[in-house]
Amino acid sequence: MRALALDGWGKPLVLKEIPKPEAAPGDVRVRIRATGLCHSDVHQWKGDWPTERALMESGGVTVLGHEGIGVVDAVGVGVSELAVGDRVGVPWMNYWCGGCEPCLTGYPHWCDRTRTTSVTVNGTYAEYATVSERAAVRVPASIPDDEAAPLLCAGVTAYGALRRLTTELRIPPGKWVAVVGAAGGLGHLGVQLAKAMGYRVVGVDVGADRVRFVESLGADMAVEAAAAPARVQELGGVHATVVFTPTLAGYGLAASLTRTVGGVVAVGIPDAREGPIPISPWALLSRGLRLVPTSVGVSHEFAELFDLYRAGRVRTHVDRHGTLADAPALLADMAGGRYVGRAVVTV
Ligand SMILES: [Zn+2]
Ligand SMILES: [Zn+2]
């Protein structure tokens, strides 16, 4: 099969023929039709995350991508609900066990025996990819491939993050929340989802074009990162900040925007070489600041997100389209902040 494969950390990805994967017991094989490009792909391509890098090396994983959508073309032994011809998404979470403590307490996102698309299993920058029947995402027919692909990571991750404002931080609708990195793949969906949940939203990004785009998404206030602390101070601070930006600067900004007894939802994963999150224990304790991590999403979160999508409360902005061969240039443009929303390529 044709795949865009890693050929050394940070070196140009190479379009080449590699063996087509088989559907193992419990898995389905999907003929990928389109895949979204995630900022995580950039970090994985460069080898910025030591844990993922080691897992990819030990597992021989060379194909990035975890926002794949396509059609089931083979089913493994024991698959009972999906059949050849079903349209599904291949997300970041390739498998969770359903039986470990994180799974049983409602957090399969941190399953002890998880498998991860593009980290422990080859990803979706290829004609075929495999996923467990449990983790394969049933996507409503009314959402076209290019709009659906970015929902498989960006959408569900943004949804899961915003959901924690009510489930974990108990912030009622009507309160102010800030979205840092509001023009990006996750952030642009995050702004719309926060509005759909009834919050008042400060969207923060860098550059006039990106701030204008954030305004067009319905943010109540759209502001440059440098101006954000002063503007947000006029509101008395926000009740929570969701950090989508994969840089430590985003976390530092979040701590300065968030009011006493507020919360910071951690989503963006910086290059490991940037070091730890710059929030002092003093800031946490003296201000009662709560830090809540979140990570992608599972079946019920997809279902809730798709409901909002079909109700017209959120729309994917696909800024760039291309083919698999265009993916390297599009990844470079994403790293440089040269487009808003998402890029999607056909396979
Ligand atoms: Zn992703
Ligand atoms: Zn588990």
Query: Residue for token digits 């701590």?
Result: 255
How far apart CA 138 and CA 135 sit, in angstroms, is 9
Ligand nearest to the CA of 103: 2
Provide the whole-model pTM.
Answer: 0.95
Ligand 1 centroid to Cα of residue 69, in Å, is: 14
Ligand nearest to the CA of 68: 1
Q: CA distances (Å), 35 to each of 115, 161, 304, 328, in order?
A: 19, 22, 21, 13
Ligand nearest to the CA of 189: 1
**Domain spans, the chain:** 2-153+297-346, 156-293
Ligand nearest to the CA of 93: 1
Ranges of the chain with pLDDT below 70: none
- DSSP letters, 142-185, are TS-HHHHGGGGTHHHHHHHHHHHHHHTS-PPTTSEEEEETTTSH
Ligand 1 centroid to Cα of residue 38, in Å, is: 5
How far apart CA 116 and CA 174 sit, in angstroms, is 36
Which pLDDT value is given to residue 298? 84
Which pLDDT value is given to residue 277? 85
Fold of the domain spanning 2-153+297-346? Quinone Oxidoreductase; Chain A, domain 1 (3.90.180)
Superfamily classification of domain 156-293: NAD(P)-binding Rossmann-like Domain (3.40.50.720)
Which pLDDT value is given to residue 271? 86
Ligand 1 centroid to Cα of residue 287, in Å, is: 32
Q: Are domains 2-153+297-346 and 156-293 of this chain identical in fold? A: no
Ligand 1 centroid to Cα of residue 100, in Å, is: 24
Which pLDDT value is given to residue 259? 96
Ligand 2 centroid to Cα of residue 34, in Å, is: 29
Which pLDDT value is given to residue 281? 86
Which pLDDT value is given to residue 278? 76
Of 223, 47, 71, 190, nearest to 137 by C-alpha is 71
How far apart CA 222 and CA 201 sit, in angstroms, is 8
Which pLDDT value is given to residue 279? 76
Phi then psi for residue 133, to 5 deg, are -60, -40
Neighbours of ion ligand 1 (CB under 5 A): 38, 40, 153
Ligand nearest to the CA of 114: 2
Query: Residue 226: enclosing H or E segment and its boundaries?
Result: none
Ligand 1 centroid to Cα of residue 285, in Å, is: 32
Ligand 1 centroid to Cα of residue 52, in Å, is: 13
Which pLDDT value is given to residue 118? 98
